[in-house]
Structure 1
Amino acid sequence: MTSPPLPTKVLAGVTVPDTALITKALDYTRQYSTDDTYNHIIRSFLLGFIIADKVLPDRDREAHAVAAIMHDLGFPIGHPENSDIITTEKRFEVDGANAARRFLQREAPAEEWDKHRLQLVWDAIALHTIGSIVFEKEPEVQACSYGIWADFQGPDRVPGGLLSWDEYNAVVKEYPRLNLMKGLKANMCHLCVLKPQTTYDNTVGEWGDRYVEGYSRKGKLTQDLLETCNLDEL
Protein backbone atom coordinates (compact mmCIF):
# COMPACT_ATOMS: atom_id res chain seq x y z
CA MET A 1 0.00 0.00 0.00
CA THR A 2 1.33 3.45 -0.92
CA SER A 3 2.11 5.68 2.07
CA PRO A 4 0.22 8.99 2.25
CA PRO A 5 2.22 12.03 1.11
CA LEU A 6 4.19 13.80 3.80
CA PRO A 7 3.50 17.42 4.74
CA THR A 8 6.02 19.78 3.17
CA LYS A 9 7.61 23.18 3.55
CA VAL A 10 9.89 25.27 1.37
CA LEU A 11 13.42 26.19 2.47
CA ALA A 12 15.65 28.25 0.19
CA GLY A 13 13.30 27.44 -2.66
CA VAL A 14 13.48 23.68 -2.04
CA THR A 15 10.39 21.67 -1.14
CA VAL A 16 11.22 19.22 1.65
CA PRO A 17 9.17 17.04 4.01
CA ASP A 18 8.03 18.64 7.24
CA THR A 19 7.19 16.08 9.91
CA ALA A 20 7.38 16.17 13.69
CA LEU A 21 10.23 13.67 13.57
CA ILE A 22 12.26 15.81 11.17
CA THR A 23 11.75 18.83 13.44
CA LYS A 24 12.96 16.80 16.41
CA ALA A 25 16.00 15.66 14.41
CA LEU A 26 16.83 19.29 13.56
CA ASP A 27 16.50 20.36 17.21
CA TYR A 28 18.56 17.43 18.46
CA THR A 29 21.32 17.93 15.91
CA ARG A 30 21.54 21.67 16.59
CA GLN A 31 22.54 20.94 20.19
CA TYR A 32 25.71 19.19 19.03
CA SER A 33 26.68 21.29 16.01
CA THR A 34 28.81 24.38 15.55
CA ASP A 35 27.32 27.05 13.29
CA ASP A 36 29.39 26.01 10.27
CA THR A 37 28.55 22.32 10.71
CA TYR A 38 24.85 23.02 11.18
CA ASN A 39 24.66 25.12 8.04
CA HIS A 40 26.50 22.37 6.15
CA ILE A 41 23.96 19.85 7.42
CA ILE A 42 21.03 21.96 6.21
CA ARG A 43 22.66 22.62 2.85
CA SER A 44 23.35 18.89 2.44
CA PHE A 45 19.70 18.18 3.24
CA LEU A 46 18.44 20.71 0.69
CA LEU A 47 20.95 19.96 -2.07
CA GLY A 48 20.28 16.27 -1.66
CA PHE A 49 16.59 16.86 -2.23
CA ILE A 50 17.22 18.99 -5.31
CA ILE A 51 19.33 16.23 -6.86
CA ALA A 52 17.47 13.16 -5.66
CA ASP A 53 14.05 14.49 -6.65
CA LYS A 54 15.35 14.43 -10.23
CA VAL A 55 16.77 10.90 -10.22
CA LEU A 56 15.41 9.06 -7.15
CA PRO A 57 11.84 10.32 -6.77
CA ASP A 58 10.46 7.15 -5.17
CA ARG A 59 12.80 7.05 -2.18
CA ASP A 60 11.75 7.22 1.48
CA ARG A 61 11.87 11.00 1.82
CA GLU A 62 11.63 11.07 5.62
CA ALA A 63 14.49 8.60 6.01
CA HIS A 64 16.57 10.65 3.57
CA ALA A 65 15.83 13.84 5.50
CA VAL A 66 16.68 12.38 8.91
CA ALA A 67 19.93 10.85 7.66
CA ALA A 68 21.06 14.08 6.01
CA ILE A 69 20.24 16.15 9.07
CA MET A 70 22.05 13.80 11.46
CA HIS A 71 24.98 12.73 9.28
CA ASP A 72 27.67 14.69 11.17
CA LEU A 73 26.61 13.95 14.74
CA GLY A 74 29.98 12.22 15.11
CA PHE A 75 31.95 15.44 14.59
CA PRO A 76 33.58 15.98 18.00
CA ILE A 77 33.77 19.79 17.98
CA GLY A 78 30.51 21.14 19.37
CA HIS A 79 29.95 18.33 21.85
CA PRO A 80 30.36 18.73 25.61
CA GLU A 81 33.24 16.78 27.16
CA ASN A 82 30.82 14.24 28.64
CA SER A 83 28.95 13.66 25.37
CA ASP A 84 27.44 10.20 25.14
CA ILE A 85 27.71 10.32 21.34
CA ILE A 86 31.47 10.57 20.89
CA THR A 87 33.37 7.38 21.70
CA THR A 88 37.10 6.78 21.85
CA GLU A 89 37.06 3.58 19.80
CA LYS A 90 34.70 4.12 16.83
CA ARG A 91 35.00 6.11 13.61
CA PHE A 92 33.14 9.41 13.67
CA GLU A 93 30.72 8.16 11.00
CA VAL A 94 29.81 5.17 13.18
CA ASP A 95 29.37 7.35 16.26
CA GLY A 96 26.96 9.49 14.26
CA ALA A 97 25.09 6.52 12.80
CA ASN A 98 24.69 4.92 16.23
CA ALA A 99 23.46 8.19 17.73
CA ALA A 100 20.91 8.61 14.93
CA ARG A 101 19.65 5.06 15.42
CA ARG A 102 19.25 5.59 19.17
CA PHE A 103 17.40 8.84 18.47
CA LEU A 104 14.99 7.08 16.12
CA GLN A 105 14.43 4.19 18.52
CA ARG A 106 13.56 6.75 21.17
CA GLU A 107 11.61 9.35 19.17
CA ALA A 108 10.19 7.71 16.03
CA PRO A 109 6.85 5.84 15.99
CA ALA A 110 7.82 2.18 16.31
CA GLU A 111 4.99 1.10 14.03
CA GLU A 112 6.41 3.29 11.24
CA TRP A 113 10.12 2.70 11.73
CA ASP A 114 10.96 -0.94 11.27
CA LYS A 115 14.43 -2.48 11.19
CA HIS A 116 14.84 -1.73 7.49
CA ARG A 117 14.18 2.00 7.81
CA LEU A 118 16.52 2.24 10.79
CA GLN A 119 19.20 0.47 8.76
CA LEU A 120 18.77 2.86 5.83
CA VAL A 121 19.53 5.82 8.08
CA TRP A 122 22.42 4.01 9.76
CA ASP A 123 23.98 3.06 6.43
CA ALA A 124 23.51 6.53 4.96
CA ILE A 125 25.44 8.08 7.84
CA ALA A 126 28.06 5.38 8.39
CA LEU A 127 28.99 5.20 4.70
CA HIS A 128 28.67 8.81 3.61
CA THR A 129 32.43 9.36 3.26
CA ILE A 130 33.04 6.23 1.16
CA GLY A 131 32.03 7.15 -2.37
CA SER A 132 33.05 3.82 -3.88
CA ILE A 133 30.39 2.11 -1.73
CA VAL A 134 27.68 4.58 -0.82
CA PHE A 135 26.53 5.31 -4.37
CA GLU A 136 25.89 1.58 -4.90
CA LYS A 137 23.48 1.42 -1.96
CA GLU A 138 19.73 2.00 -1.66
CA PRO A 139 18.23 5.23 -3.05
CA GLU A 140 17.87 6.81 0.40
CA VAL A 141 21.54 6.16 1.15
CA GLN A 142 22.65 7.51 -2.20
CA ALA A 143 20.42 10.57 -1.89
CA CYS A 144 21.94 11.55 1.45
CA SER A 145 25.47 11.47 0.04
CA TYR A 146 24.48 13.31 -3.13
CA GLY A 147 23.74 16.35 -1.00
CA ILE A 148 26.79 16.02 1.25
CA TRP A 149 29.21 15.62 -1.63
CA ALA A 150 27.57 18.42 -3.59
CA ASP A 151 28.04 20.81 -0.69
CA PHE A 152 31.76 20.09 -0.49
CA GLN A 153 32.48 19.86 -4.21
CA GLY A 154 30.01 22.24 -5.84
CA PRO A 155 27.64 21.81 -8.80
CA ASP A 156 30.35 21.29 -11.42
CA ARG A 157 31.29 17.92 -9.89
CA VAL A 158 27.74 16.61 -9.57
CA PRO A 159 27.32 13.99 -12.32
CA GLY A 160 24.83 14.64 -15.09
CA GLY A 161 24.41 18.35 -14.43
CA LEU A 162 21.81 17.55 -11.78
CA LEU A 163 22.57 20.65 -9.72
CA SER A 164 22.78 24.13 -11.23
CA TRP A 165 24.76 27.02 -9.84
CA ASP A 166 21.52 28.97 -9.45
CA GLU A 167 20.07 26.20 -7.28
CA TYR A 168 23.28 25.89 -5.30
CA ASN A 169 23.70 29.63 -4.76
CA ALA A 170 20.10 30.02 -3.57
CA VAL A 171 20.77 27.48 -0.82
CA VAL A 172 24.12 29.01 0.14
CA LYS A 173 22.53 32.47 0.32
CA GLU A 174 20.09 31.25 2.98
CA TYR A 175 22.61 29.02 4.78
CA PRO A 176 26.11 30.52 4.31
CA ARG A 177 29.19 28.34 4.33
CA LEU A 178 30.78 30.11 7.35
CA ASN A 179 34.31 28.87 6.55
CA LEU A 180 33.16 25.27 6.33
CA MET A 181 36.53 23.92 5.22
CA LYS A 182 38.26 25.50 8.22
CA GLY A 183 35.74 23.78 10.48
CA LEU A 184 36.13 20.48 8.65
CA LYS A 185 39.91 20.62 9.02
CA ALA A 186 39.55 21.32 12.75
CA ASN A 187 37.26 18.33 13.23
CA MET A 188 39.41 15.96 11.17
CA CYS A 189 42.60 16.97 12.97
CA HIS A 190 40.88 16.70 16.34
CA LEU A 191 39.81 13.16 15.50
CA CYS A 192 43.42 12.28 14.66
CA VAL A 193 44.44 13.43 18.14
CA LEU A 194 41.38 12.17 20.05
CA LYS A 195 41.21 8.65 18.62
CA PRO A 196 43.94 8.11 16.03
CA GLN A 197 43.34 4.36 15.82
CA THR A 198 40.00 5.07 14.11
CA THR A 199 41.62 7.18 11.39
CA TYR A 200 44.39 5.03 9.95
CA ASP A 201 42.35 3.20 7.30
CA ASN A 202 40.25 6.11 6.02
CA THR A 203 40.37 9.65 4.71
CA VAL A 204 40.49 11.24 8.16
CA GLY A 205 44.07 10.02 8.40
CA GLU A 206 45.00 12.08 5.34
CA TRP A 207 44.36 15.21 7.40
CA GLY A 208 46.54 13.85 10.17
CA ASP A 209 49.33 13.09 7.71
CA ARG A 210 49.35 16.66 6.50
CA TYR A 211 48.49 18.78 9.52
CA VAL A 212 48.89 16.97 12.88
CA GLU A 213 52.36 17.04 14.39
CA GLY A 214 53.46 13.62 15.60
CA TYR A 215 50.65 11.78 13.80
CA SER A 216 51.79 8.80 11.73
CA ARG A 217 50.13 5.90 9.97
CA LYS A 218 53.44 4.19 9.35
CA GLY A 219 53.13 0.51 10.22
CA LYS A 220 49.39 0.87 10.94
CA LEU A 221 47.82 0.51 7.50
CA THR A 222 45.94 -2.65 6.57
CA GLN A 223 48.79 -3.76 4.32
CA ASP A 224 51.25 -3.37 7.19
CA LEU A 225 49.09 -5.44 9.50
CA LEU A 226 48.59 -8.23 6.96
CA GLU A 227 52.24 -8.41 5.98
CA THR A 228 53.31 -8.85 9.59
CA CYS A 229 50.93 -11.75 10.29
CA ASN A 230 53.19 -14.29 8.54
CA LEU A 231 50.42 -16.89 8.62
CA ASP A 232 51.73 -18.50 5.42
CA GLU A 233 54.86 -19.47 7.30
CA LEU A 234 52.98 -21.48 9.92
Structure 2
Amino acid sequence: MTSPSLPTRVLAGVTIPDTPLITKSLEYTRKYSTDDTYNHIVRSLLLGFIIADKVLPTRDREAHAVAAIMHDLGFPIGHPPHSEIISKDKRFEVDGAHAARKFLQKEGKAEEWDKHRLQLVWDAIALHTIGSIVFEKEPEVQATSYGIWADFQGPDRVPGGLLTWDEYNAVVKEYPRLGLMKGLKANMCHLCEIKPETTYDNTVGEWGDRYVEGYSRKGKLTQDLLETCTLDDL
Protein backbone atom coordinates (compact mmCIF):
# COMPACT_ATOMS: atom_id res chain seq x y z
CA MET A 1 0.00 0.00 0.00
CA THR A 2 1.01 3.62 -0.47
CA SER A 3 2.59 5.59 2.36
CA PRO A 4 0.13 7.54 4.52
CA SER A 5 2.56 10.49 4.55
CA LEU A 6 2.65 11.41 0.88
CA PRO A 7 3.92 14.85 -0.14
CA THR A 8 1.12 17.21 -1.07
CA ARG A 9 0.29 20.18 -3.26
CA VAL A 10 -2.65 22.56 -3.35
CA LEU A 11 -4.76 23.13 -6.48
CA ALA A 12 -7.76 25.47 -6.38
CA GLY A 13 -7.61 25.34 -2.62
CA VAL A 14 -7.70 21.53 -2.50
CA THR A 15 -4.87 19.51 -0.98
CA ILE A 16 -3.97 16.47 -3.08
CA PRO A 17 -0.99 14.07 -3.14
CA ASP A 18 2.07 15.20 -5.07
CA THR A 19 4.07 12.18 -6.22
CA PRO A 20 6.15 11.65 -9.37
CA LEU A 21 3.63 9.05 -10.53
CA ILE A 22 0.71 11.47 -10.23
CA THR A 23 2.68 14.09 -12.19
CA LYS A 24 3.44 11.53 -14.90
CA SER A 25 -0.21 10.45 -15.04
CA LEU A 26 -1.28 14.07 -15.56
CA GLU A 27 1.28 14.51 -18.33
CA TYR A 28 0.29 11.23 -19.99
CA THR A 29 -3.42 11.99 -19.84
CA ARG A 30 -2.94 15.52 -21.18
CA LYS A 31 -1.48 14.08 -24.40
CA TYR A 32 -4.72 12.22 -25.12
CA SER A 33 -7.28 14.76 -23.90
CA THR A 34 -9.05 17.72 -25.42
CA ASP A 35 -9.07 20.88 -23.31
CA ASP A 36 -12.59 20.29 -22.01
CA THR A 37 -11.87 16.66 -21.09
CA TYR A 38 -8.60 17.52 -19.36
CA ASN A 39 -10.24 20.20 -17.24
CA HIS A 40 -12.97 17.71 -16.40
CA ILE A 41 -10.52 15.11 -15.14
CA VAL A 42 -8.71 17.67 -12.98
CA ARG A 43 -12.01 18.91 -11.56
CA SER A 44 -13.04 15.29 -10.93
CA LEU A 45 -9.80 14.75 -9.06
CA LEU A 46 -10.24 17.85 -6.90
CA LEU A 47 -13.96 17.43 -6.24
CA GLY A 48 -13.38 13.79 -5.38
CA PHE A 49 -10.78 14.77 -2.79
CA ILE A 50 -13.05 17.40 -1.28
CA ILE A 51 -15.84 14.86 -0.85
CA ALA A 52 -13.83 11.75 0.02
CA ASP A 53 -11.69 13.51 2.61
CA LYS A 54 -14.93 14.06 4.54
CA VAL A 55 -16.23 10.48 4.38
CA LEU A 56 -13.39 8.18 3.22
CA PRO A 57 -10.27 9.61 4.88
CA THR A 58 -8.30 6.35 5.13
CA ARG A 59 -8.34 5.45 1.44
CA ASP A 60 -5.27 4.96 -0.76
CA ARG A 61 -4.93 8.58 -1.89
CA GLU A 62 -2.43 7.93 -4.67
CA ALA A 63 -4.58 5.20 -6.23
CA HIS A 64 -7.60 7.52 -6.02
CA ALA A 65 -5.66 10.33 -7.70
CA VAL A 66 -4.35 8.20 -10.56
CA ALA A 67 -7.76 6.66 -11.25
CA ALA A 68 -9.46 10.05 -11.33
CA ILE A 69 -6.81 11.49 -13.64
CA MET A 70 -6.94 8.59 -16.10
CA HIS A 71 -10.66 7.76 -16.01
CA ASP A 72 -11.48 9.15 -19.47
CA LEU A 73 -8.50 7.85 -21.44
CA GLY A 74 -11.02 5.81 -23.42
CA PHE A 75 -12.70 8.91 -24.89
CA PRO A 76 -11.84 8.65 -28.60
CA ILE A 77 -11.76 12.37 -29.44
CA GLY A 78 -8.28 13.71 -28.70
CA HIS A 79 -6.46 10.54 -29.71
CA PRO A 80 -4.40 10.31 -32.89
CA PRO A 81 -5.61 7.95 -35.63
CA HIS A 82 -4.96 4.29 -34.80
CA SER A 83 -4.37 5.08 -31.13
CA GLU A 84 -3.11 2.06 -29.21
CA ILE A 85 -5.48 2.96 -26.37
CA ILE A 86 -8.73 2.94 -28.33
CA SER A 87 -9.76 -0.63 -29.13
CA LYS A 88 -12.19 -1.76 -31.79
CA ASP A 89 -14.26 -3.98 -29.54
CA LYS A 90 -14.28 -2.71 -25.94
CA ARG A 91 -16.29 -0.12 -24.01
CA PHE A 92 -14.54 3.21 -23.56
CA GLU A 93 -14.38 2.62 -19.79
CA VAL A 94 -12.52 -0.66 -20.32
CA ASP A 95 -10.12 0.95 -22.79
CA GLY A 96 -9.32 3.56 -20.15
CA ALA A 97 -8.91 0.98 -17.40
CA HIS A 98 -6.58 -1.13 -19.52
CA ALA A 99 -4.50 1.94 -20.45
CA ALA A 100 -4.18 3.00 -16.82
CA ARG A 101 -3.08 -0.48 -15.75
CA LYS A 102 -0.44 -0.62 -18.49
CA PHE A 103 0.77 2.85 -17.48
CA LEU A 104 1.12 1.81 -13.83
CA GLN A 105 2.89 -1.43 -14.73
CA LYS A 106 5.41 0.61 -16.70
CA GLU A 107 5.81 3.72 -14.56
CA GLY A 108 4.98 2.46 -11.06
CA LYS A 109 7.31 0.55 -8.79
CA ALA A 110 6.47 -3.15 -8.84
CA GLU A 111 6.88 -3.45 -5.07
CA GLU A 112 4.31 -0.67 -4.56
CA TRP A 113 1.79 -1.55 -7.27
CA ASP A 114 0.73 -5.07 -6.48
CA LYS A 115 -2.22 -6.85 -8.07
CA HIS A 116 -4.68 -5.40 -5.56
CA ARG A 117 -3.72 -1.76 -6.11
CA LEU A 118 -3.77 -2.22 -9.87
CA GLN A 119 -7.23 -3.76 -9.60
CA LEU A 120 -8.49 -0.82 -7.51
CA VAL A 121 -7.53 1.61 -10.26
CA TRP A 122 -8.87 -0.68 -12.99
CA ASP A 123 -12.22 -1.05 -11.20
CA ALA A 124 -12.49 2.66 -10.44
CA ILE A 125 -12.18 3.48 -14.13
CA ALA A 126 -14.08 0.56 -15.65
CA LEU A 127 -17.07 1.00 -13.34
CA HIS A 128 -17.26 4.79 -13.04
CA THR A 129 -20.40 5.12 -15.17
CA ILE A 130 -22.36 2.44 -13.27
CA GLY A 131 -23.61 4.11 -10.10
CA SER A 132 -25.56 1.10 -8.88
CA ILE A 133 -22.27 -0.82 -8.60
CA VAL A 134 -19.42 1.62 -8.14
CA PHE A 135 -20.64 3.13 -4.89
CA GLU A 136 -20.71 -0.36 -3.33
CA LYS A 137 -17.02 -0.92 -4.06
CA GLU A 138 -13.83 -0.10 -2.14
CA PRO A 139 -13.24 3.46 -0.85
CA GLU A 140 -10.78 4.30 -3.63
CA VAL A 141 -13.31 3.24 -6.27
CA GLN A 142 -16.12 5.16 -4.63
CA ALA A 143 -13.97 8.27 -4.18
CA THR A 144 -13.09 8.36 -7.87
CA SER A 145 -16.73 8.35 -8.89
CA TYR A 146 -17.73 10.87 -6.24
CA GLY A 147 -15.64 13.45 -8.06
CA ILE A 148 -16.68 12.45 -11.56
CA TRP A 149 -20.37 12.44 -10.77
CA ALA A 150 -20.14 15.71 -8.83
CA ASP A 151 -18.58 17.44 -11.82
CA PHE A 152 -21.46 16.43 -14.08
CA GLN A 153 -24.30 16.83 -11.61
CA GLY A 154 -23.22 19.71 -9.37
CA PRO A 155 -23.25 20.12 -5.58
CA ASP A 156 -27.02 19.94 -5.18
CA ARG A 157 -27.02 16.28 -6.26
CA VAL A 158 -24.14 15.18 -4.04
CA PRO A 159 -25.69 13.19 -1.16
CA GLY A 160 -25.41 14.53 2.36
CA GLY A 161 -24.39 18.06 1.39
CA LEU A 162 -20.78 16.88 1.09
CA LEU A 163 -19.90 19.48 -1.56
CA THR A 164 -20.76 23.15 -1.21
CA TRP A 165 -21.24 25.60 -4.04
CA ASP A 166 -18.32 27.65 -2.74
CA GLU A 167 -16.04 24.62 -2.96
CA TYR A 168 -17.36 23.70 -6.39
CA ASN A 169 -17.10 27.24 -7.79
CA ALA A 170 -13.52 27.63 -6.58
CA VAL A 171 -12.53 24.54 -8.58
CA VAL A 172 -14.46 25.59 -11.68
CA LYS A 173 -12.87 29.06 -11.54
CA GLU A 174 -9.40 27.51 -11.84
CA TYR A 175 -10.44 24.79 -14.31
CA PRO A 176 -13.38 26.11 -16.40
CA ARG A 177 -15.89 23.71 -17.92
CA LEU A 178 -15.15 24.78 -21.52
CA GLY A 179 -18.37 23.30 -22.90
CA LEU A 180 -17.96 19.94 -21.19
CA MET A 181 -21.43 18.65 -22.09
CA LYS A 182 -20.91 19.45 -25.76
CA GLY A 183 -17.65 17.51 -25.66
CA LEU A 184 -19.29 14.61 -23.84
CA LYS A 185 -22.03 14.43 -26.46
CA ALA A 186 -19.44 14.43 -29.25
CA ASN A 187 -17.51 11.56 -27.65
CA MET A 188 -20.62 9.49 -26.93
CA CYS A 189 -21.97 9.93 -30.45
CA HIS A 190 -18.57 9.16 -31.97
CA LEU A 191 -18.43 5.91 -30.01
CA CYS A 192 -21.85 4.98 -31.39
CA GLU A 193 -20.49 5.62 -34.88
CA ILE A 194 -17.09 3.93 -34.72
CA LYS A 195 -17.87 0.89 -32.52
CA PRO A 196 -21.61 0.63 -31.95
CA GLU A 197 -21.39 -2.93 -30.65
CA THR A 198 -19.77 -1.57 -27.47
CA THR A 199 -22.68 0.78 -26.77
CA TYR A 200 -25.83 -1.34 -26.88
CA ASP A 201 -25.90 -2.45 -23.24
CA ASN A 202 -24.93 0.82 -21.57
CA THR A 203 -25.70 4.52 -21.36
CA VAL A 204 -23.59 5.42 -24.39
CA GLY A 205 -26.31 3.90 -26.54
CA GLU A 206 -28.81 6.42 -25.20
CA TRP A 207 -26.85 9.15 -26.99
CA GLY A 208 -26.92 7.14 -30.19
CA ASP A 209 -30.68 6.62 -29.89
CA ARG A 210 -31.24 10.34 -29.68
CA TYR A 211 -28.58 11.92 -31.86
CA VAL A 212 -26.91 9.49 -34.30
CA GLU A 213 -28.68 8.98 -37.60
CA GLY A 214 -29.02 5.32 -38.54
CA TYR A 215 -28.01 4.07 -35.08
CA SER A 216 -30.32 1.47 -33.58
CA ARG A 217 -30.28 -0.90 -30.63
CA LYS A 218 -33.31 -2.78 -31.92
CA GLY A 219 -32.69 -6.49 -31.49
CA LYS A 220 -29.38 -5.81 -29.70
CA LEU A 221 -30.52 -5.37 -26.10
CA THR A 222 -30.02 -8.13 -23.53
CA GLN A 223 -33.76 -8.74 -23.37
CA ASP A 224 -33.87 -9.18 -27.15
CA LEU A 225 -31.07 -11.72 -27.04
CA LEU A 226 -32.62 -13.68 -24.17
CA GLU A 227 -36.12 -13.72 -25.64
CA THR A 228 -34.80 -15.23 -28.86
CA CYS A 229 -32.86 -17.94 -27.01
CA THR A 230 -34.36 -21.38 -27.69
CA LEU A 231 -32.52 -23.41 -25.06
CA ASP A 232 -35.77 -24.15 -23.23
CA ASP A 233 -37.03 -25.89 -26.34
CA LEU A 234 -34.15 -28.36 -26.45
Structure 1 residue 104 corresponds to structure 2 residue 122? no
Structure 1 residue 54 corresponds to structure 2 residue 58? no
- Unaligned stretches of 5+ residues in structure 1: none
Residue in structure 2 matched with residue 122 of structure 1 by the alignment: 122
Alpha-carbon offset, residue 3 of structure 1: 3.0
Residue in structure 2 matched with residue 138 of structure 1 by the alignment: 138
Residue in structure 1 matched with residue 155 of structure 2 by the alignment: 155
Q: Quick one: percent identity of the two aligned structures?
A: 88
Is 2:8–2:15's contact at 8 Å kept on the other side of the alignment? yes
- CA distance, structure 1, for counterparts of residue 215 and residue 139 of structure 2: 37
Residue in structure 2 matched with residue 224 of structure 1 by the alignment: 224
**Mapping of 1:170-189 within 5 angstroms?**
170-189=170-189
- Unaligned stretches of 5+ residues in structure 2: none
State the AA in 1 paired with 2:118: L
State the AA in 2 paired with 1:212: V
Equivalent residues, number: 234
- CA distance, structure 1, for counterparts of residue 81 and residue 70 of structure 2: 20
- CA distance, structure 1, for counterparts of residue 65 and residue 84 of structure 2: 23
Is 2:43–2:151's contact at 8 Å kept on the other side of the alignment? yes
- CA distance, structure 1, for counterparts of residue 4 and residue 198 of structure 2: 42
CA RMSD, aligned part only?
Answer: 0.9
Per-residue CA distance 1:40-59 (angstroms, 9 max, x = gap) = 00000000000000000000
Normalising by structure 1, we get a TM-score of: 0.99
- CA distance, structure 2, for counterparts of residue 213 and residue 47 of structure 1: 36
Residue in structure 1 matched with residue 80 of structure 2 by the alignment: 80
- CA distance, structure 2, for counterparts of residue 2 and residue 174 of structure 1: 28
- CA distance, structure 2, for counterparts of residue 26 and residue 213 of structure 1: 36
State the AA in 2 paired with 1:183: G
Per-residue CA distance 1:69-112 (angstroms, 9 max, x = gap) = 00000000000002100001000000000000000000001110
Per-residue CA distance 1:114-162 (angstroms, 9 max, x = gap) = 0000000000000000000000000000000000000000000000000
